[in-house]
A and B are shown apart, each in its own frame.
Chain A
Amino acid sequence: MFRQTDRHFKFDWVTIILFLILVVFGWMNILSASHTGTTINYLDISQPYGKQLMFIGLTVLLIIFILSIDAKFYERFSSLIFIFSMLSLAGLFLFGKNVNGATSWYGIGGMTLQPSEFAKAATALAVAKYISDLNTDIRNFKDQIRIFIIIIIPALLILLQNDAGSTLVYGSFFFVLYREGLPKIYLILALALVSISVLALKFGPILTSVLVVIFIVANYFIKKKKPVILQPILTAIACIVIAFGIKFFYQNVLQAHQQDRISLWLRLEKDPQKIAQMRRDILYNLYESEKAISSGGFSGKGFLEGTRTTGKFVPEQHTDYIFSTVGEEWGFLGSIFVIIVFVLLLLRILRLAELQKSQFSRVYGYSVASILFFHFMINIGMVMGLIPTIGIPLPFFSYGGSGLWGFTILLFIFIKLDSNRINEW
């Protein structure tokens, strides 16, 4: 077993260094966003920055633990891990603690633990395991359904705990499935669903239906090889049903604050007084975070010098809105740096995933990249006002032990799998 002796050098150090940069820089910004007064006691665990430092310390132990377990363990026990994780989610309905309207936490002593942060890694393992099974063919409709079920179980459990943001993250598995051969029709359906939804909300279901019918008819006549006439008719009916359905969904299923967010994003509300009211009420965070970011200018106000950060102008700044601290104190240069580090990390994981010889490792790696990408896109997009408010953390950056550990486990299992790829022939 001579290959085992130099295994420390087989870890992908580029990924590890990018990870470290994000964690350290993230902690610096948590310090900025949460410190009060003039003296800073780094070990004061009554303060978020002190606690986070402790979490980071524990993360190191966690990493050593993950990397020292045999790589085969993760594949072999993935189903068990998944089941355990789902049980922990389900257990929340019995023992969960309600924080800010979401029942996503277990209270252990003075600490809280959020199982949904760990469920992502568990789901990724389960998906990888199922797809890499020799009997699975993703082009097979039955298998597709089974995979969907695997993904929908945690998504549904989390949704029922009133954490819609974290539910959306499970949409990232689409990238994975598509990569592994999910038929193109799903991509088309997904794009169609999104565009019809947006159109139906923005311009109303009737106009949308008319547009869709025109599009389908035109498409039918342009095509040289005409399909059966029934197909476009059914498609059109489906689209119209979706258009009206989404309107119904928006009005009757979504909660008021979710409606408002979408309504502001799509500029559905016309009454300027009501818009102003909505902005004050629900876009307050966004307004302040955008202002903090732009006040940073090109080079920023300097570490611990952000006046809007010090004045706690941005609510939740050390958690979901942590990027606004980067924007204010480190300016354009610092923000671009963070964007670049994230993009490099994602691309690195993507590349490593493609290099994997085992399908399990590849699918898992792809899931890691997809999940991190979703978080990155939604969080920073939200903080900069590009997408409606969806509260999910920025990986490795945002304050919170569960989040940090969840992402660390997610990433380092892959680093472990990757270090093992030489062993797999």
Chain B
Amino acid sequence: MRQILLFISIIFVGILFSARLFYLQVYQDNTNNLYEDNAIRKVYDYPKRGFVYDRNGKLLVSNQPSYDVMVIPREVKPLDTLEFCSLLKIDKEQFIKTYEKAYRYSPRLPYVFLPQLSKEDYAVLQEKMRKFEGFYIQKRSLRNYETTIGANVLGDIGEVNQRIMSKNPYYKMGDLIGMQGIEASYEKTLRGVKGIKFIQKDRFNRNIGPYKDGKFDTLPESGKDIKTTIDATLQAYGEILMTNKRGGIIAIEPSSGEILSMVAAPTYNPNLLVGRERSKNFTKLYNDSIAKPLFNRSLQGVYEPGSPFKLMNALVALQEGVISTDEKITCYAGYKYGNRFMKCHCRVGTRNDMVHGIQESCNAYFATVYRRILDKPENASIGINVWSNHVKSFGLGNFLNNDLYVGQKGRIPDRDYYKGIYPNTFYSTYTISNAIGQGEVATTPIQLANMVAAIANRGYYFTPHIIKEIKDETIDSNFTTPKYTTIDKQHFEPVIEGMQHVYTHGTAKHLQIPGIEICGKTGTVENFAKIDSTRVQLTDHSIFVAFAPKNNPKIAIAVFVENGYWGGRFAGRIASLMIEKYIKGEVTRTDLENWILNHSLEEEYAKPYSGEPFDINGKTKLQVIPTDEANKLKEQIKKLDS
């Protein structure tokens, strides 16, 4: 026993130490990572964020310097707080509060005392900064929107949150990231790659020199400039036309799928989401649950397409050979199926062939056609899948998979979709509303514009996209390879003929543009809202799709105006104006323009929230805006042209 006491003690201590070492070094989670080593200070060098241009090289988004007032509490010497506060435009209470916060954060580390000074405040402050020891000014880069247009297209940048940081370790506290629009979808291209310097710290948190002589340091890589497909003038024009209305305009170049303009109304000035007021303004926009300015109606608004969808049914019918272009179908001011009746505004006994069916938007014609498509195979269950596949080949009913940050699938039903409602028997009459673009079909404005582009191209489309050019990079081949529909080329001509007739003889007769052969289709869609849990019908949505010129089309457009009543009333006028503006560069139909600028739908939108009973459609009186306001809009348009 006496001999082994020391022996045992030595062994015991050896084992104890080994266990402790195991606990400290192996058991405890130690990431041996330079980035997580708090003995190494990481200093990031932020590259210039790429600029954004429109398709003609007009600068839309650039950068502006911003100045943060920083403080290192320990280095602060007594100062004239009164003067300092008045320079910063804060009161003494806020000064003390912020200072205490900074001190609690760390007495030794820099803290943002006041973020994002204006250039003017900075100029004044800079002169006197040396009087305030412990405070200094740090330059940061913010976005600068050169115009007020395209908030929904361009998007904005904001500070990363915890969720983003944990998902992507590239981003650190305080970094900026694209939140919406192009800023989000081309984040990687625009931001570049930040450089990093590793600096060895000592225990007082002082820098003692570069870690390993800067062996691991990297230089920043500038963000790349982006040229978008947006035509700034057309975009601005569209936004002015949509003032006091809600809805969207999507214009696409059919030969490339490039989005010429993408208007979502109401919109907002993108500069609101820059700088010190960002979060206040964002909250305001976010909380506007009635007008929803942050909701991109042209991408996210899912609506029943209405009559423009009849074009789709005509194409499928021709492809399936269930009707010839010459066959005439009699309309009895409606269509009778079983013991039910679908109304139409044709006179009783009108006999329409395909061109006239489209021209007059005859419900009976398309109900007949739709039933023939579904009933062609042995039963409608197979028929509806055939129909559904044709329609989906136009990019409807699914995400477009493009470079826009948001989107919606819309809905093109097939047999499976109806399984819940009609588990056993299924007849073509059950879904007859689809014949006229109501019922279960639903699309977003961009899908509708794409459908028109495919028609304009006579059978194919390019996925609509917003990117035109990135320096030294080829754009995604998904955007440059045509996608063919399941409809043969020859079937498009009669439908296009019909669309032209809409302008020359039909529902859009008053919207013609001299010198341009436009093909279009109006749409008027019933819609309902829930008010106090009762279903209340609202004024119809006004829809219009068109492309022009008929041969070698340059623009395909879909316009959607919420509660604008019939298609030719708001949407049609806007579509014609947009087409003329784009193709001619100027507007000759100033009568149309004046009408659009003079009329507002705001009263219409206020109705469901008024709490009082209200009239819709024909019984309403259209709101005319005061002349000076309309003149202001005209001024803006004039400015575009200069």
Contacts and interface: CB of A to CB of B under 8 A. Distances in A.
A280 B509 CA distance: 85
Given A181-B2, A312-B202, A339-B21, A297 B32 contact: yes
A388 interface: no
B203 A312 contact: yes
A311 B21 contact: no
Given A293-B21, A307-B200, 6 more contacts: A295-B32, A296-B25, A297-B26, A310-B200, A313-B203, A343-B11
Contacts of A312: 202-203, 208
Interface string B1-44: 01101110111011011101110111010101010010110000
B125 to A, nearest CB: 35
A335 interface: yes
B201 interface: yes
B17 A332 contact: no
A381 interface: yes
B213 interface: yes
A314 B34 CA distance: 19
27 contacts: A38-B213, A178-B5, A179-B5, A179-B6, A294-B24, A295-B32, A296-B25, A307-B200, A307-B211, A310-B200, A311-B200, A312-B203, A313-B203, A332-B21, A335-B25, A339-B17, A339-B18, A339-B21, A369-B6, A373-B6, A373-B10, A373-B13, A376-B13, A381-B13, A381-B17, A384-B17, A386-B17
A308 B34 CA distance: 11
A158 interface: no
Nearest to A301: B32
B448 to A, nearest CB: 59
A146 to B, nearest CB: 21
A369 B9 CA distance: 11
A297 B203 CA distance: 20
Contacts of A347: 7, 10
A335 B2 contact: no
Nearest to B28: A294
B39 A307 contact: yes
A369 B456 CA distance: 97
Contacts of B18: 336, 339
Interface in A268-321: 288, 290, 293-298, 301, 307-308, 310-315
Contacts of A381: 13, 17
A175 interface: yes
Contacts of A294: 24-25, 28, 30
Given A331-B25, A336-B18, A339-B17, A307 B37 contact: yes
A342 B15 CA distance: 12
B14 A293 contact: no
A386 B15 CA distance: 13
A308 B40 CA distance: 8
Contact of A288 (B11, B17, B30, B203): B203
B19 to A, nearest CB: 10
A178 B3 CA distance: 9
A327 interface: yes
Contacts of A343: 10-11, 14
Nearest to B17: A339
Nearest to B207: A311
Contacts of B32: 295-297, 301
A175 B208 contact: no
Contacts of B203: 288, 311-315
Interface string B189-216: 0000000000011110000100101000
A314 B39 CA distance: 11
Contacts of B200: 307, 310-311
A377 interface: yes
Contact of A313 (B5, B6, B25, B202): B202
Contacts of B2: 178-179, 181
B13 to A, nearest CB: 5
Nearest to A288: B203
A307 B6 CA distance: 38
A295 B37 contact: yes
A366 interface: yes
Interface in A336-392: 336, 339-340, 342-343, 346-347, 350, 354, 366, 369-370, 373, 376-377, 380-381, 384, 386
Query: Which of B10, B11, B14, B203 gathers most chain A CB within 10 Å?
Result: B10
Given A179-B5, A301-B32, A384 B21 contact: yes
Nearest to A339: B17
A384 B24 contact: yes
A311 B13 contact: no
Contacts of A307: 34, 37, 39-40, 200, 211
A102 B11 CA distance: 33
Nearest to A326: B21
A128 to B, nearest CB: 15
B106 to A, nearest CB: 14
A285 to B, nearest CB: 10
A38 B200 CA distance: 13
Contacts of A314: 203
Contacts of A332: 21-22, 25-26
Given A175-B6, A179-B2, A386 B20 contact: yes
Contact of A290 (B9, B24, B213): B24
